Structure 1
Amino acid sequence: MNNVLITGFTGQVGSQLADYIIDKTDDAVIGMMRWQEPMDNIYHLTDRINRKDRVFIKYADLNDYVSIYNLIESTRPKFIFHLAAQSFPRTSFDIPIETLQTNIIGTANLLECVRKLKQQHGYNPVVHVCSSSEVYGRAKVGEALNEDTQFHGASPYSISKIGTDYLGRFYGEAYGIRTFVTRMGTHTGPRRSDVFFESTVAKQIALIEAGHQEPKLKVGNLASVRTFQDARDAVRAYYLLACKSEAGGVPNGEAFNIAGEEAFKLTEVIELLLSFSSRNDIEIVTDTDRLRPIDADYQMFDNTKIKNFIDWKPEIKASDMFRDLLQHWRSEISSGRIPLNR
């Protein structure tokens, strides 16, 4: 049984990846987290964790080099899925330095640990560096984004991910570390953080249905068109790419777009989510606190490259994904876990 390390284990994507590995492989999951992180997305795994049944929690912090080194040195995972980040673009305008520190320096800390262990002990794992489609920023309307599209940072977050992206490529090319980089488009589904657009819309609908919010749906900029995909499809691509890299089929530092193939205007996302509700009195209002100083308004992607490397395509329909997301918030609220209205 091999170890697989997931940084960002408690997030939506990290927890979905853990579920995939447990279900589809014989590997053990090493979930990296900080001691104070919320456990909401991994409560379904706590019985396994308590029994030490293929899921293990290890405490470390990307900004603490020693903790990262000790974690990797002691567990020697065959795959490292580096998903941990300050991941909310809007928040990055309020905490730009922390965003840059965690996402760029934190990634450098992790890659430096791998480099040192490779140099000293010949340890050579596959390292997945999770970048973001936000690196493309303010793309031209009508342009299908591929891996050669020029970067255009549109937030401190996107700039931090540009740095992360380059680090993944550099450590692969310069030091022979088996890295690959992914730039995932907008992804959602159950466990999506409530600060992201489609999740906050679904959350507010569920709050209104339960009588915890007046029937006013607060939104920011709706002048955006983008593809959506289910995170459960994306993690399958992550693992397949890692296996391909282990087999020598992915050049070090190679980057891949991973995106859905169903596109929506944000107004259409709202209409679809509202269509799943029996409430017909919900008013849509603009909340200036939800607006970014600059926005990535157009994100349509070309998945050709990843399909040339692995047998993958999105399988979960967007309508099912959005319905599952709304049901996730209904379940949370019915269980007494009332989320903040943000």
Structure 2
Amino acid sequence: MGDPHGPSGRAIKAPRILVVGAGASGLAFALECASRGTHVRVIERRSCRSSIQKATGVAAGVWRRLSKFGVSPTSVSAAIPMRNFAFHDDGRLVANVPVPEIDGEPPAHLYPQGELERYLEEALSSRGVEVEYDTAFISYEASGTSVRVGIRDEGQEVERTEEFDWVVGADGAHSAVRQAAGMPFVGRDYPETWSVAEISTRKWPSDAQAQLFLRSDGVGLFLSQPTSGVVQGILNAPNVSKALHAHFPDAELRYERDFRVTLRRVRSPRTGRVWLIGDAAHVQSPVGGQGLNLAIWDGITLAEGLLAGDLTVERVLARRARTVLLFTDFDYRMLATKSRLVRSVRNRYWAYAAKHPALARWFFKLISGGW
């Protein structure tokens, strides 16, 4: 953080920061602060960390930023480098695409989000910051110099009030902080009901890390292997487990759930002394695998800017979110199109890119976080 003393030689008081939410963005923010000697409070409404793995792709750019905390593909167990993905359309193999390296490394590694968050929490704990579970954000009242926050412990009827210099809302798509701040969440909802499931199987091909099965009716199944022996399937329609069993006869279902996908963001991630990061600030299609990566980037970038006293980070966060959301929306439109012409052009491009991987380099550079 630089010189801890001001021009007069007196010590500068460290900011009091509350992080609401212990997902990827909140943990990344807190880790950056703790690594710079700034203590933060992290509260989480849940009683424990979720066992559902959610996202599976961690971009090279994110691994680089996490490596200073001792979290990297070499330090965590079983991260799988992305080397190849197979692309099918209406049951026909369109392209088996070799994934080019970006700056000498794979653009992403497959690794379960739940496991990555566990590593981040352990790294945070080693720096003296423990996540306060069963602790809910209730409300806040802001002044020009501080924020008074209402907090309630699970099982307690009476909330307590504590004062902070900054509040960082990292509490997900249904953010209580965003609602309390009255920040509009603009955008639209995709019409489809999606489904996600994980299975155990021994039938995953050893030469693929991801497989995409598209259909002319706009339905697409994305398969990935977050860890050995486990396959995650995402379908922009209900009943993904049925599709998984069709591909893997030995499948044993681990979990399945339906969900809706929206494309929304706040116009700006800050109002006064309250910030939003991760899904609290923006949600997008899972196509392109950018949600987890943008969340971690948000957390580290905000911490760097805030601790440096550089509030222009507000514009940096907003610009990055807008760009990533445009990319994921375009990507989804290309994958789910019903247009015969667009499908033909798309398929020809990827078939040609499979033979000339340099043509796909721009896409994988975006996947790697090279925005």
> The TM-score by the shorter chain falls in which range?
under 0.3
Higher-strand-fraction structure: 2
Larger Rg: 2
Greater RCO structure (CA 8 Å; 6+ sep): 2
Normalised to the residue count of structure 2, the TM-score between the two structures is: 0.26
Higher-helix-fraction structure: 1
